[in-house]
Structures are given as structure tokens and as C-alpha cells.
A and B are shown apart, each in its own frame.
Chain A
Amino acid sequence: MIKVENLKKAFGPKLAVNGISFSVERGEVLGFLGPNGAGKSTTMRMITGFIPPTEGRVTVGGNDITTDPIAAKRLIGYLPENAPAYSDMTVRGFLNFSAQIRGLSGRERNQAIDRVVELCFLNSVIHQSVDTLSKGYRHRTCFAQSIIHDPDILILDEPTDGLDPNQKHEVRSIIKRMGEKKAIIFSTHILEEVEAVCSRAIIVDRGEIVADGTPDELKKKSPNAGAVVLTVRGAESEGVKERLGQLGTVDTILILDDSDTITVKATPKSAGSQNELASNIADSANQAGWRIEELRTEEGKLDEVFRTITKPDTAKEAAA
């Protein structure tokens, strides 16, 4: 539904987006990750047709966003960063305006408004002026605007920014539910959100895609993925280290905790030995007569992956 080919955007001499390509199909929820200033918002603004790309092509539902913007924009619902809304209008007035611009009229329009008001829990503020709303409500009002025409494509720039944990959860479940029938792109800083909602994630850094895959695939790139953590009672830390170090599948042993319980982390020698590692360690611990308190295999964490593949922007810091 969305096809992005070699997208580039230059602001003066600086390349904010440098050759990004990907596509999103119906039924996919694509998480768009990256450090601040990586080019996430710029990319989204180009996909939605707000800023024209310097190079490259965006097609939305088969319509080129530069040559056929109206047809393309009709298919898109967009929640910009910071959730702007007309502050001199009431929530209902704002939604009514959005529905009208989207070509809804009469009963259809009222039904659409009622639907999004219920979905985004705006009932209590429906007649309130937008500038009196709290941040969470304003955010949801703008979100409601983006789904009022039940678009095939949703583009959400940090949809859970500024919401409290309950609201975050609510918005996530809405996105997940709608993701079954739509093509959704959303950007976020919150990595747990990606695991909870996305069917696929892209990490961008300095305008380029540095990782692209399902959340599980990305997690495997973590340096800790496949490591086994063992906590035992009734042993000496050095003894544990020595005994486990003799196992053929173990690469390194790291002592994490050395008090009345001993916690160690063992990394596998090769990706192939991962599966046996935990059982080898368990057998070895049982033979030694230690009492196992905990034994688990690390799945790898997205934030570790994120930190390893996105470099800190030292150049920028030096300039500042």
C-alpha cells in the first residue's frame, strides 16, 4: 500500500534522509525507530505529502504523492508530531471540520464523529475548546481526526507521546486492532511498544535504515541474545565459574551477583550451541548439588540492539 523508493531529503547541505526504501502492505504495523534527529519525522512528512522529497518516490495505494497528491492523501490518516489541533475550536467542531474535508456529509459524518469519539474516549470533552484540553486529550483529539474517515493507511508520529500509562495501553491496543485491516506506520522512542504492537520494525540512524525485521529478528542481533543466566544457592562463585567454564558450549562466564546466592551469565560459544546451553548448565548444576533458584535464556533486548546499531552523535555534540 505504501511504497517508498530511495527517498532523500536535503535541508541545505545537510541530508536529513538519505536513501530510505521500504514498503508496507495491508495488515502490517511498521514501527519506525531511531534516535532524535534520525529523520523519522522528515520521512513521515514526505510520505504524507507535507514536504516534497529532494529525490526518490513515494506511492500510496498506487498514487504518486508528488504527481497525484489529492488521491494519495485521501487514503491517508495522519497524526503529526505534537498533535496539532485548532485551538479556537471545540473538539466536536474540529472533528466535524476534519470529516467535512474528508468528504463526509450528513448522517455519515455524524456517525463517523460518534465512532471516533467513542474509540478515543473523548465523550467528556466533546464540547470543550481545544485550547483548554490537557495534553492527553489533545493528543487523542488529533488521533481521532486521523481515523475519522477510516483510512486504509495510518501514519502516526509518536502516537503515545505524552499519554499516561493507561492511555498508552489503550492507544496501543487500538493501533494493534486496526493494524489487522490497514497499513500502519508509527514512530516511537518506546521500544516495548514496538514489541507489543509491531509486526515489523525499521531502525533509522542519520537518515539511513540500519535494521529492518520483525521484533524477534531484531532482538536476536542483541549481544546478549542466547545467553543463559543462572542463580544458585549453596555454592562458591569461583567454583561455579570454574565448573561451568569447563562445559564445551560455554564461551565466557560473568559473575553478576556474589552474595548468599550466586548469579552468573554464560554466553554461548556459537549460535548453534544456544539450544543446548541451558540444559548443559542445568545438568552440571544438579550434579554439583547446587540449588537452582533461577535459570533462564536471555531473548535479547531491543534497547540493546538499538544502542549497538545507532551510534551516538558525537559529531553533533562536538559542534555544539
Chain B
Amino acid sequence: MNNGFSNTWAILKRELSGYFSSPVAYVFIVIFLVLIGFFTFSGNLGGFFERDEASLAAFFTWHPWIYLFLVPAVGMRLWSEERRQGTLELLFTMPITAGQAIFGKFLASWLFLILALILTFPIIFTVEYLGDPDFGVIICGYIGSALLAGGYLAISCMTSAITRNQVISFILSVVICLFLILAGFQPVTDMLIQWAPGWLVNVVSSLSVMTHFFSFQRGVIDTRDLIFFLSLIGFSLFTTGVILRSLRTN
């Protein structure tokens, strides 16, 4: 078991150092922070000041949309690059299990995304300076955001195993993530209600990351939401394993 952990750790370290040995990581972090700042403070979009409340609602509202493009950009190379370079063969002839490799790579990218998220901390000081925010809600919001990023990332991880072409991997995962957003998006739900039976509307919208993400923003950590995100991650990583296995068989 100890051995399994050290293998995952070795993969994780390699992957993380890969991010920071090139400018990609810094470019990503800067773009992420600029975008999120713009969406939060812009009067027309987030309307942070116009809301006139000491909360981060304006900040978190845009996370599903910003992640929609930025997370697949981080995840698209995870396995496609490994396949393109031929290092997949190296990795899978080393004494590690596929699970350790998949989990190690996923965890490294997730940590990277979480780091980018943590770097948004000045926004907390801003609301603290301007008013009297509820820190419980803020922490919940951050946890939800991290889980959302993890869910998207696991999907990108899966799509990157399908192809050695990063662009295809990117587009596929944006489409899947977009579906997961739209399934619970208000206009879509309204449209569904008009003709679909109630239970179907519920099933579709419960598949959506939006409903689960926004329940964190209300300051509650519901086990159902936790289970949703963790099972989304688990399912996608498991599918990644299945895809990688079938690649080697055929």
C-alpha cells in the first residue's frame, strides 16, 4: 500500500513539475485571475459592487463558465500527450498500476487548479474590508468551486485518453461539460417543463453541475452534492482506465 502511495506521489510530482517547468502554468494562472476578476467586478456581468452585499455570489456565479474553457485546457494534454510522445508505453511497463498513474496525474492537475483558485484570495479581503461577510458561506463556496473544477478535470482526463490530438480532446470535453451545465440551466429547465414529465425534468437537472454547485454557494455542504461531484470524478477516472486498457488491447 505504501508502495502504491509512493508511485502515485512520483507521478504527481512529475506532472506538477511539468506544469511549472514551462510558462504554461503562469499564463494559465494569470488568464484565470484576470478573467475571474473581470467577470466579478464588471457592472454588466457579476456586478460585485452593484449588488451591494457582502458576499461572493458575484464571484462564484461565473466559475462554471470560466472553468468550462480553462479546465479542459489544463486537462486536454494529460493522456493525449502521453500517447503522442509514446511515453504511455514507458509508463505502463513500469511497475505501477493504471489506477495509480491515472489518479496521480489527475491529482496533480487538480492541485494545480486548486492553487489557481486559492490565488483569488484577495477577493476575500475585499469583501471583508467592505462589509461583514459570512466566512462559512465563503469556505463552502470555495469547496464547491474546487469540486466543480475536479469534475470538469476528470471529464477532460477521460476525453484526453480517447485521442492523441489535444484539440479534439479539448473540444470533446468542452461539449460534455457544457451539457452538464445546460442540463440544469434555468432557460433549459423552463423549456423542458413545458413538455416533459416532472420526473424527467428532475433527472436531467440533477445531472447538472449547476444545481449541485449553487447549493454550495448557499453555504450548505449537502452529502448529496458531495456524492455527486465525487462520483462524477470517480466515474470519469474509471472510464479513463477502461479507455486506456482498450487502447492497449487493440
Interface residue ranges, A against B (CB under 8 Å): 11-12, 45, 48-52, 69-71, 73-74, 76, 78, 80, 82, 84-89, 93, 97-98, 100-103, 129, 142, 145
Does A52 contact B90, Cβ atoms closer than 8 Å?
Answer: no
Segment with Cβ contacts to A, from B93-101, B119-127, B132-140, B145-153: B93-101
Does B89 contact A84, Cβ atoms closer than 8 Å?
Answer: yes
A71 and B96 CA atoms in complex are apart in Å by 10
Does B21 contact A50, Cβ atoms closer than 8 Å?
Answer: no
Is B92 positioned at the interface, with any CB of A under 8 Å from its CB? yes
Residue of B nearest to A129 (CB): B21
Chain B interface residue count, CB cutoff 8 Å, equals 25
A89 and B90 CA atoms in complex are apart in Å by 15
> Which chain B residues lie closer than 8 Å to A45 at the CB level?
89
Does A49 contact B92, Cβ atoms closer than 8 Å?
Answer: yes
Residue of B nearest to A100 (CB): B10
Residue of A nearest to B3 (CB): A103
A199 and B86 CA atoms in complex are apart in Å by 30
Is B218 positioned at the interface, with any CB of A under 8 Å from its CB? no
Does B249 contact A51, Cβ atoms closer than 8 Å?
Answer: yes
A-B residue pair count with CB separations less than 8 angstroms: 74
Does A86 contact B92, Cβ atoms closer than 8 Å?
Answer: no
Q: Distance (Å) between the CB of A69 and the closest chain B CB? A: 8
Does B95 contact A80, Cβ atoms closer than 8 Å?
Answer: no
Does B94 contact A73, Cβ atoms closer than 8 Å?
Answer: yes
Given contacts A80-B86, A84-B90, contact A89 B17 (CB under 8 A): yes
Given contacts A50-B248, A73-B94, A78-B93, contact A88 B21 (CB under 8 A): yes
Q: Distance (Å) between the CB of A195 and the closest chain B CB? A: 29
Given contacts A74-B95, A88-B21, contact A103 B89 (CB under 8 A): no
Is B18 positioned at the interface, with any CB of A under 8 Å from its CB? yes
Does A84 contact B248, Cβ atoms closer than 8 Å?
Answer: no
Q: Which of A51, A74, A82, A84 has the most CB of B within 10 A?
A: A84
Does B250 contact A80, Cβ atoms closer than 8 Å?
Answer: no
> Which chain A residues lie closer than 8 Å to B92 at the CB level?
49-50
Does A82 contact B86, Cβ atoms closer than 8 Å?
Answer: yes
> Which chain B residues lie closer than 8 Å to A88 at the CB level?
18, 21-22
Does B249 contact A52, Cβ atoms closer than 8 Å?
Answer: yes
Q: Distance (Å) between the CB of B235 and the closest chain A CB? A: 24
> Which chain B residues lie closer than 8 Å to A102 at the CB level?
94-95
A142 and B96 CA atoms in complex are apart in Å by 18
Does A93 contact B85, Cβ atoms closer than 8 Å?
Answer: no
Does B10 contact A97, Cβ atoms closer than 8 Å?
Answer: yes
A-B contact pairs, 20 of them (CB 8 A): A48-B93, A49-B93, A51-B248, A51-B249, A52-B248, A70-B95, A74-B95, A78-B90, A84-B90, A85-B87, A86-B87, A89-B21, A97-B10, A97-B13, A97-B14, A100-B13, A101-B7, A101-B10, A101-B96, A129-B21
Question: Contacting B17 at CB < 8 Å: which of A76, A93, A103?
Answer: A93
Is B231 positioned at the interface, with any CB of A under 8 Å from its CB? no
Is B6 positioned at the interface, with any CB of A under 8 Å from its CB? yes
Segment 60-107 of B: residues with Cβ below 8 Å from A: 85-87, 89-90, 92-97
Residue of A nearest to B4 (CB): A70
> Which chain B residues lie closer than 8 Å to A101 at the CB level?
7, 10-11, 94-96
Residue of B nearest to A98 (CB): B94
Question: Contacting B89 at CB < 8 Å: which of A11, A50, A87?
Answer: A50
> Which chain A residues lie closer than 8 Å to B7 at the CB level?
101
> Which chain A residues lie closer than 8 Å to B3 at the CB level?
103
Does A73 contact B87, Cβ atoms closer than 8 Å?
Answer: no
A179 and B10 CA atoms in complex are apart in Å by 30
> Which chain A residues lie closer than 8 Å to B250 at the CB level?
11-12
Q: Distance (Å) between the CB of A157 and the closest chain B CB? A: 10
Segment 1-60 of B: residues with Cβ below 8 Å from A: 3, 6-7, 10-11, 13-14, 17-18, 21-22
Does B95 contact A84, Cβ atoms closer than 8 Å?
Answer: no
Given contacts A52-B249, A103-B3, contact A84 B85 (CB under 8 A): yes
> Which chain B residues lie closer than 8 Å to A12 at the CB level?
250
> Which chain A residues lie closer than 8 Å to B10 at the CB level?
97, 100-101
Does B86 contact A84, Cβ atoms closer than 8 Å?
Answer: yes
Residue of A nearest to B77 (CB): A88
> Which chain B residues lie closer than 8 Å to A80 at the CB level?
86, 89-90, 93
A89 and B20 CA atoms in complex are apart in Å by 11
Q: Distance (Å) between the CB of A86 and the closest chain B CB? A: 6
